[in-house]
Amino acid sequence: MISDEITEFSRTFHDEIRAEAHAFEALREEVFVQKMGDILEDYGEIETLVPCSYRASGMKVDGYCYDDEFKDFILVASYFLDEIEPSKSKVTNSDVSREMKRITTFLEKCLKGA
């Protein structure tokens, strides 16, 4: 059972995404990526996220960041479900595998100069 607090958080979060997307004439997924990047930055998990949306056949990337201290280059791929009800927005292992494949393909093609 999903708690009322989680449902209310989801509703508020989605309302913020919709409002910002409308205000800035952006796609909801782009706003979601930026908001999640801000959260990860606040918790010290990443440095500044640079949003950059790219999609092509079998490839996808939504942002990146570079950690100068650890020399880490991080690619970000979003799997945004525009669904307020938490019980309807489950992410499966196959969803994660598919998105990992898309971002891995992107990286491999970049490294090959394709």
* pLDDT tens-digit map of 62-102: 999 999 888 999 999 999 999 999 989 999 999 999 999 99
pTM, rounded to two decimals: 0.88
pLDDT at 1 (0 to 100): 63
Rg over CA atoms, the chain: 16
Residue 2 has pLDDT above 80, yes or no: no
Range of the domain at 14: 4-112
Share of the chain above pLDDT 70, in %: 99
How many domains does one find in the chain? Answer: 1
Tokens 């307020």 belong to residue: 84
Tokens 């910002």 belong to residue: 20
CA distance 86 to 11: 9
Q: Mean pLDDT in the chain?
A: 94
- Strand, helix or coil at 55? strand
